[in-house]
A and B are shown apart, each in its own frame.
Chain A
Amino acid sequence: MMIYPAIHYTMGGLWVDYNLMSTIPGLFVLGEANFSDHGSNRLGASALMQGLADGYFVIPYTIGGYLAGTVLPEVNEAHPAFEDSTKLVNEGIDKLLSIKGDRTVDDFHKELGHILWEYGGMSRNEIGMLKAKELIPELREQFWENVMVTGSPGEFNQTLERAGRVADFLEFSELLVEDGVSREESCGCHFNEAFQTEEHEAQRDDDSCSYVAAWEFRGTGKAPALHKEPLVFENVELAQRSYK
């Protein structure tokens, strides 16, 4: 077996409040789909830990409060929001199947992976990340002009499923790089080569970077908006990481 160091996880997730509710009222996000428990690093086996903590200990106390204070009217498939999203999804599917290009979904996926591996990976620098910020939108445009998706929409179609995922990855990886550029420090798994101690440890900037970045999606290809949520530590003192 060939062994090499690799990224095993991207930290973060959907923003939630202390009750685990997202910015959409009534939509609660549990486990590692939310951002709440991990910082800029993530420990192994934490999926179980956060699944248990959120599902076993937190949500039983918080969802009741929401349900008690909310009137939930009857909703059916004729609701305009349902119709809008069905239309949106169907348009996306039809678009993917109508392109009939000559590059496979996996081919795009691999190139995107290569860009992130080279310029947005375990060790990053500003020049590389800015290059990735140029390359990813170019690749996204090529994808929507030249992707080859086989089969039809009504059937069990794994190629179509993968195409939808890669379309999402193309949007999200741009944000991943954007976030990396904006944070002018090294912290946890975000290792910007320009910010390191003499021992090559991550050099944080707690004065100006001690915040959670909540990015607001403003549409594909448009700059996302950064909302900062300050991190306040009352019982622990921030210290320099050292594995010595």
Chain B
Amino acid sequence: MSENINLTLKVWRQNGPDDKGHLGTYKAKDISTDMSFLEMLDVVNEQLTVEGKDPIAFDHDCREGICGMCGTVVNGLAHGPEPATTLCQLHMRHFKDGDTIVIEPWRARPFKIIRDLVVDRSSFDDIIQAGGYVSVNTGQAPEANSIPISQEKAELAMDAAACIGCGACAAACPNASAMLFVSAKISQLALLPQGRPEAARRALGMAKAMDECGFGNCSNERECEAVCPKEIKITNIARFNREFLKASFVSPQA
């Protein structure tokens, strides 16, 4: 049943990357439990605007859990308390009247804060540009049955391809490692025949870019897997490590 609740929000406010930042306290009044978390923030922002205060900056786009734009740390958990759920798909029925909710941005050194809860995730683009693609001839539709792929491989590749690049994995990791993200992007291509010709270059290039961006390494904490809204498995990290090792031994580029 739908009801209305009152909440206290403690929200990270920061005007820019060089600002010190602080936790601001706000009242969220009369919030319908049918609302999504972002709709609740919309209501608070509308109220702040009317009061002549700066609304809380936060990222969002599709609001249906598929684009990877939204995400904040809610009460210490990336994307909030529900498993396999992006922040936009988290509903207020999971909170109780009188609750205090602490809302913070993703924290990882490469994710510079742009404003409040908005962080710069262009480091993920840099990693993708270092090898997260396949080179194919365009112009004609290839014959669909010319490259047979087993069901098992196709399913594993699709599971890895479910990654939306939101950055929750890096934000949840005590080392601020982006290994879950990078391994998903490596795996979705490494598992398929189309990805094999460039596999060595890809593994070496993306690992190098990841290090250069300033992300830490994996120490098997599995925090990433726990918060991932798309349930990407850390077995992908094992595959990434194998791809990287293989490439390091045999590739002339290593």
Chain A positions within 8 Å of B99 at CB level = none
A156 to B49, CA, bound (A): 16
State whether the Cβ of A188 lies closer than 8 Å to any Cβ in chain B: no
- Contact between B50 and A158, CB atoms less than 8 A apart: no
Chain B positions within 8 Å of A150 at CB level = 49, 52-55
The chain A residue sitting closest to B43, CB to CB, is: A106
A156 to B141, CA, bound (A): 42
A61 to B140, CA, bound (A): 10
The chain A residue sitting closest to B56, CB to CB, is: A158
Q: Kindly count the residue-residue contacts between A and B in the assembled complex, taking CB atoms under 8 Å apart.
A: 39
State whether the Cβ of A2 lies closer than 8 Å to any Cβ in chain B: yes
- Contact between B138 and A2, CB atoms less than 8 A apart: no
State whether the Cβ of A56 lies closer than 8 Å to any Cβ in chain B: yes
Question: A49-88, CB under 8 A of B: which get 1 and which 0?
Answer: 0000001110011000000000000000000000000000
Question: A102-127, CB under 8 A of B: which get 1 and which 0?
Answer: 00101100000000000000000000
Least CB distance, A14 to chain B, in whole angstroms: 21
- Contact between B57 and A57, CB atoms less than 8 A apart: no
Which of B34, B42, B49, B50 meets A2, CB within 8 Å? B34
Q: How many residues of B contact A (CB 8 A)?
A: 19
Which of A61, A148, A151, A155 meets B139, CB within 8 Å? A61
State whether the Cβ of A159 lies closer than 8 Å to any Cβ in chain B: yes
Given contacts A104-B46, A106-B42, A159-B49, are A60 and B139 in contact (CB under 8 A)?
Answer: yes
Bin chain A's interface residue count. 10 to 19
Chain A positions within 8 Å of B34 at CB level = 1-2
Question: Which B139-158 residues have a C-beta within 8 angstroms of A?
Answer: 139-141
Least CB distance, B254 to chain A, in whole angstroms: 33
State whether the Cβ of B115 lies closer than 8 Å to any Cβ in chain A: yes
Which of B50, B118, B138 meets A156, CB within 8 Å? B118
A151 to B57, CA, bound (A): 12
- Contact between B55 and A156, CB atoms less than 8 A apart: no
Give 9 CB contacts A-B under 8 Å.
A57-B139, A57-B141, A60-B139, A148-B49, A150-B55, A156-B57, A156-B118, A158-B57, A159-B49
Question: Could you list 10 further interchain pairs (A-B, Cβ under 8 angstroms) beyond the known A2-B34, A156-B114?
Answer: A56-B138, A56-B139, A57-B139, A148-B49, A148-B50, A150-B52, A156-B115, A156-B118, A158-B55, A158-B57
Give the A-binding residues of B (Cβ under 8 A): 15-16, 34, 42, 46, 49-50, 52-55, 57, 114-115, 118, 138-141
Give the B-binding residues of A (Cβ under 8 A): 1-2, 55-57, 60-61, 104, 106-107, 148, 150-151, 155-156, 158-159
The 6 closest A-B CB pairs, nearest first, are A60-B138, A156-B115, A60-B139, A104-B49, A56-B138, A158-B57
